[in-house]
Amino acid sequence: MGCMDGKVLVVTGAGRGIGREMALLGAKEGAKVVVNDLGGSVDGEGGASQQPAEEVVETIRKAGGQAIANFNSVADPTSAQAIVQSAIDNFGRIDAVINNAGILRDRIFHRMSIEDWKQVIDVHLNGAFYVSRAAANYFKEQESGAFVHFTSTSGLIGNFGQANYAAAKLGIVGLSKGIALDMARFNVRSNCVSPFAWSRMIGTIPTETPEQQARVEKIKRMTPDKIAPLAIFLVSDLAKGVSGQIMAARMHELFLFSQNRPIRSVHSESGWTPAKIAEIALPAMKASFTPNDRSADVFSWDPT
């Protein structure tokens, strides 16, 4: 008996990396799995291949599990609907969705094109919405269901050259919270996972300097299989009552992230002018400003 026995799980971007490991673990824990993967390149430009998803399905079936492959894109609402429909058509229901599909189009901001922006937003943020929205009515009718959406410290903290990716990933946090609030009365949960793992997407990090090479070698130790247990836990009944949260997995470490709350206030009985803000409010608040750190600045110790 696994924690996903009797459940039907959809995992997007499940042909490789973290998605693959989540599909495999979900099946091992008893789920019937829809292995969705477009089979494209990291930047979304390459031709689609059905092979990655089919190989994951074959691995699951050889281990005695049940799975089907799906090759639809998350970035189109009709196509996203077809991903969810494949679960209904093949397994008769849907119980959990893991929104993992993604691409990267990294550019320093003043060089970022409209297409760089649009493609990343479409796959990550719009894709998470389209697939979640397609599943929402089924969850509502059966009064159960769970979403896990993949965010990133690029959005939660910051990183160079990823304004598009950071915006999408922080937008996903807002989407998850909205789902958690709106669908709580139907016993539907929604959480975010921020992964630390070596994958094709992380493989685009430059390795031109000794420092960059050393950083990548450390990241390679964080294999995708370390992420899967947290995601599968969150979509299983073991996580009953857990919703609207942001968690992270890094090797053998788990993290719970804070969420935006007021941390300092200043009051003026007569109101504010720009000059008065500069004179009174700014000095009072400045010590509490959040520094413009990158993810690597905050997670400065080696993964353990």
141-162 pLDDT, tens digit each = 999 999 999 999 999 999 999 9
120 pLDDT higher than 60:
yes
Specify whether 130 is catalytic. Answer: no
Q: Which residues contact 228 (CB under 8 A, 6 or more apart)?
A: 18, 21, 22, 24, 25, 26
Domain span at 196: 8-259
Residue 215 counted as domain residue: yes
Pair 139, 84: CB distance under 8 Å: no
Inside any domain, residue 272: no
Domains identified in the chain, total number: 1
**What amino acid is encoded at 301 in this protein?**
W
Q: Residue 119 domain-assigned?
A: yes
The pLDDT assigned to 243 comes to 98
Q: What digits encode the pLDDT tens for the residues 258-288?
A: 999 999 999 999 999 999 999 999 999 999 9
Q: Are 162 and 206 in contact (CB under 8 A)?
A: no
Burial of 281 (0-12, 13-18, 19+ CB in 10 A): middle
pLDDT tens for each residue of 9-44 = 999 999 999 999 999 999 999 999 999 999 877 766
pLDDT at 147: 99
List the catalytic residue out of 138, 150, 165, 233. Answer: 165
φ/ψ bin of 212: left (φ > 0), alpha (ψ from -120 to 50), beta (otherwise): alpha
Question: Please, what is the average pLDDT of the chain?
Answer: 93
Q: Please compute, for residue 163, the number of CA atoms within 13 A of its CA located in the half-sphere on the CB side.
A: 11
Band of residue 92 on the pLDDT scale cut at 50, 70, 90: very high
What's the average model confidence in pLDDT over 227-249?
Answer: 98
Q: Tell me, yes or no, whether 188 lies in a domain.
A: yes
pLDDT grade, residue 227 (50/70/90)?
very high
What's the CATH code of the domain at 112? 3.40.50.720
pLDDT reading at 226 higher than 90: yes
240 within some domain: yes
Residue 268 lies in a domain: no
273 within some domain = no
Element (H, E) at 69: strand 66-70
Helices (H) and strands (E) in the chain, counts: 12, 8
Contact 150, 99 (CB under 8 A): yes
Is residue 278 one of the residues assigned to a domain? no
- pLDDT-derived band at 215, boundaries 50, 70, 90: low
Q: What is the pLDDT of residue 201?
A: 55
| pLDDT value for 294 | 92
Contact of 117 with 164, CB cutoff 8 Å: yes
